[in-house]
Amino acid sequence: MTQETTPVTDSAEPLVSIKDLEIGFQTGNGFVQAVKGVSFDIFPGETVAIVGESGSGKSTTATGIIDLLPSNGRITGGQVMFGGKDLTKASKQEIVRVRGREIGYVPQDPMSNLNPVWSVGFQVREAVLANNMAKNKKDADRRAIEVLQEAGLADAERRMKQFPHQFSGGMRQRVLIGIGLAADPKLLIADEPTSALDVTVQRVILDHLESLTREKNTALLLITHDLGLAAERASKVIVMYQGKIVEAGPSLELLQNPQHPYTKRLIAAAPSLASQRLKSSRVVAEAPQGDEIDLAAASAHRHEVVEQADHAGTPAIEVKDLTKVFSIRRGSFRSEPFTAVDKVNFQVPRGTTMALVGESGSGKSTVAKMVLGLETATEGEILIGGKDATALNREEMLAHRRRMQPVFQDPYGSLDPMRSIGSIIQEPLDVHKIGGRKERENRVNEVIDEVALPRTVLSRYPNELSGGQRQRIAIARALALKPDVVILDEAVSALDVLVQAQILQLLADLQEELGLTYLFITHDLAVVRVVADDVAVMERGKIVEHGKVEDIFTNAQTEYTQKLLDAIPGANIPLGA
C-alpha cells in the first residue's frame, strides 16, 4: 500500500520501448484498427498503469506486446523494443522464448484462465519447465511448490494436486500471478488482475503483487479501468481513449492536475475518487449540467434534496426478520441446510436510497430477490408500502408487483434479443393491462424521454445498442409502470466508468423528479458513497452494520466495514481541489 514507487532503475535504458504501435482486427465488418499509434516506455522495476474504458485498446496493447492477440488480430505497424530486439518482427521461437521467461502475463479472469482438466500443480510445473527453471520433474515440483507458496497459498504441497475448480477466485488469481512470476521475468503484464474479485480480496492481491515485484525488481505493466487504483499502485499512469494515448505522466500529478478533457472526465466520474472528495466535503453540490459529469457534485446535490424532503409515513420497504434457508445436496441422499439470509431487518423511507453492501456470498442478492418476490422467504415479512408481500396470493401478487420494479446487472442478458426496444418497454404495461394501446404508446415515449434516449431507438433491437444504452432501456422499462420502488441489483457494476457515472446521474435525477425509492445492491463501497442515503453492510447472511452513509464512511463501527472501506482503491490519495 504505497503511494509512490520510485523506480529502482540501474540504468537509464528503458526495459520495453513501444513506438507507434498499431494493432487491428479482422472482423465481420472489415478491418478495425484498435490501437492507433501508441508509444511509451517502461523502465526496469517500474510500475506503469494504462487506464481506459472498454474499447480503448489498453488490453490489446498489453497482449500485443508478446503477441497474444486472438487469431483475427494483427500488429500492423510500429515496434516493441525489448532487450535490443523488435518483438513485432521476432520469429515464433524467439517470442516463445521471451514469453514466460522474460515477460510474464497475468490475465484478468481467474475462472477461465486455468485449464479445468489439469491439476494446478501440473500447470505451474509446465510454466517452470518451459522456461528452463528446473532440470527435471522433481526439481520442477519443488519449484512449483515454491511458486505457490510465494503466491500466498497456504498448504501449497497439498494444493498442487487439486484442480482449479476447487480453488476460490482469489486463490486462482494468486496461482495465475505465481505462474506469471514463476520464471522471474523482467516484466510482468497484469491485465485487470483483480477486476473479477471481491473488494477485500483485491486489496490483498494487489498488495501481494506489489511486494513480489518490488522484491524481484520486476517491472509491472498494470492494465485497469479504475483510475484510483492506477494512481495508487503505479508510478506512471497512461490514459488511453479509442486506441490512442491522450495523456500520460506521473500518477499523482495526473490526478491532481489533469490536462486532457477526457482525463478530467474520468476523474470526475470515478466513484472511488468521487467518494474521496465527498468525504472531504469540499464538494459543491450542484445538479449536473447537460453532458458534463461530476459524480461527486451530482451525488451531493441529490443527497441534499433527499435530506430536505419529508420522509414521514410508512416506509417504502420494510423487512422484518427475513430469513432464507437453502437445502444443499451433499452426497447421495443427504442434504444440508444453508442459511443464505439470516434474520435481516431494515427499513427504507420513501424517496430515499438504501444501499445493501456485501461481498460475494453475503446474501444481498438473495434479499433483493425475496423483496422482488422472485424467491420465497423461509421466514420473516416483507412489507412494501405497508403491504405484506409474503401473505399475498397470485392475483394480489401481480398487482403488488406494479409497485416495485427491478434493474439487473447484466445489460446484455436482461433484454430479450428478439424483441424491439419499444416492445420491451411496453411489456410491463401489456402484462398489467394498463390503459389502451394509445396510452401505452404514450407512456413508452414518455419514459424513453426520461432516460434521455431518442425515440428512434424504440424500433431498434438490443444487439444494436451499447451496454450503457441497454441499461438505460432497462431503467426505462422499470419506470414504465410508475413504481414506487426500484430495486437495482448491481445495476452499474458491468458498465464503464463514464457510462456508469451517467447512469448514476440519471438515477439521481429520476429520484428527485419522481420521488422514487431505491434499494441499491452492490459490492462496491465507492459507488455506495455517491449513491446512497442509508447503508446496510451484509456479511455471510447477516447485517453487521447499518446506518447513515456519512456515519458509516467516517466512523465505521465494525472491523469488517472498515476493511471494506480500506479496500476502496485510491482511498489514500490526496486529491486536488
Partner 1 sequence: MLMYVVRRLLQAVPVVIGTTFLIYFMVFAMPGDPILAMFGDKTPNQATYDALAAQYHLDQPFLVQYGLYMKDLFSGNLGTTFSGQSVGEVLARTFPVTLKLAAMAIALEFSLAVILGLFAGLRKGKLFDNVTLVIGLVMLSVPIFVLGFLAQYFVAIKWGWASPTVGSDTSIANMWLPAVVLALSLFTTSMRLMRGTVIDTRSRDFVRTAYAKGLPGRRVIPVHVLRNSLIPVVTNSAANFGVLMVGATVTEGIFNVPGVGNTLYQAIIRGEGPTVVSFVTVMVLAYVVINILVDLLYAVLDPRIRYA
Q: How many residues bind partner 1 (CB under 8 A)?
A: 40
Pick one of 59, 61, 88, 131: the residue that binds partner 1 (CB under 8 A).
131
Q: Where in 211-281 does DSSP place strands (E)?
A: 219-224, 236-241, 244-250
- Under the binding rule (CB under 8 A), the answer on residue 135 touching partner 1 is no
Residues 358-417 contacting partner 1, CB under 8 A: none
Pick one of 329, 394, 433, 438: the residue that binds partner 1 (CB under 8 A).
329
Quote the CA–CA distance of 427 and 419 in Å, as a whole number: 10
Q: Are 496 and 332 in contact (CB under 8 A)?
A: no
Is 113 or 272 the residue whose CB approaches partner 1 more closely?
Answer: 113
Pick one of 58, 101, 301, 440: the residue that binds partner 1 (CB under 8 A).
101
Is 107 or 406 the residue whose CB approaches partner 1 more closely?
Answer: 107
Quote the CA–CA distance of 577 and 572 in Å, as a whole number: 15
Using the rule CB under 8 A, give the single segment among 325-333, 338-346, 491-499, 554-562 that binds partner 1: 325-333
CA diameter of the chain: 78
Is 135 or 438 the residue whose CB approaches partner 1 more closely?
Answer: 135
Is 29 or 93 the residue whose CB approaches partner 1 more closely?
Answer: 93
Element (H, E) at 513: helix 497-514
324: Cβ contacts below 8 Å, ≥ 6 apart: 339, 340, 341, 363, 366, 370, 375, 377, 378
Using the rule CB under 8 A, give the single segment among 105-113, 151-159, 456-464, 520-528 that binds partner 1: 105-113
Angle at CA 170, nearest 5°, toward 528 and 538? Answer: 35
- Under the binding rule (CB under 8 A), the answer on residue 337 touching partner 1 is no
How many angstroms separate the Cα of 165 from the Cα of each of 101, 130, 545?
27, 24, 32
Using the rule CB under 8 A, give the single segment among 103-111, 309-317, 435-443, 536-544 that binds partner 1: 103-111
Quote the CA–CA distance of 487 and 373 in Å, as a whole number: 12
- Under the binding rule (CB under 8 A), the answer on residue 127 touching partner 1 is yes
Using the rule CB under 8 A, give the single segment among 101-109, 317-325, 458-466, 554-562 that binds partner 1: 101-109
How many angstroms separate the Cα of 199 from the Cα of each of 272, 325, 342, 358?
12, 26, 22, 9
Pick one of 41, 126, 139, 207: the residue that binds partner 1 (CB under 8 A).
126
If you count DSSP H runs as helices and E runs as strands, how many of each does the chain have, helices first? 21, 20
CB of 203 to partner 1, least distance (A): 24
Contact pattern for partner 1 over residues 59 through 88, marking x by CB under 8 A: ----x--x-x-xx-----------------
CB of 434 to partner 1, least distance (A): 45
Is 117 or 154 the residue whose CB approaches partner 1 more closely?
Answer: 117
Q: What's the grid cell of residue 215? A: 522484491
Question: What does residue 18 show for φ and ψ, rounded to 5 degrees?
Answer: -105, 125
Q: Which residues bind partner 1 (CB under 8 A)?
A: 63, 66, 68, 70-71, 92-93, 96-101, 104-105, 107, 109, 112-119, 126-127, 130-131, 163, 165, 176, 179-180, 182-183, 329-332
